[in-house]
Amino acid sequence: MITPVNIEANRILVDTDVVSYLLKEDTRAEFFKPYLIHKTVAVSFITVAELYYWAYSRSWGQSRITEMESKIKNYLVLPYDYMLCQCWAQIYQQCEAKGFTIPKIDCWIAATAKLYECALATNNRRHFKHIDNLTIICPSLI
């Protein structure tokens, strides 16, 4: 078992890749599990959209989609609002000013983590490493 480093945040936002690992019971999820114990585990609204996109693009049947939906209910889904939109715009602009273009979907995830004061569990550190004051939980940081 991996011993997690101390993460101060009481809420952990799991990036889409990590949710995918957890839902599929992929071995890559094992790294993240200790960080989720006794925490509020959340996903961004955009992660839910990505999961549905994957299901539709891979022609999942209704029973498999229903199974995915029942598993998503284990997470707190953080919604969009105007404050989140403002946070997204600030992060996107700050990344541009640093010469880094963050993918728009990842910017939504980062904005959600920052606005709701969550640490971000991701396997895609490179997408988020230029964002100030964002706590990242990622195997490449250990």
Give residue limits of the domains in the chain.
11-141
Closest CA to 128 of 35, 86, 114, 116: 114
CB 17 within 8 A of CB 48: no
pLDDT tens-digit series, residues 32-45 = 999 999 999 999 99
pLDDT tens-digit series, residues 53-104 = 999 999 999 999 999 999 999 999 999 999 999 999 999 999 999 999 999 9
CA distance 94 to 81: 20
What's residue 8's pLDDT?
72
CA distance 28 to 88: 28
CA distance 104 to 64: 28
Architecture of domain 11-141: 3-Layer(aba) Sandwich (3.40)
Q: Is the pTM of this model over 0.95?
A: no
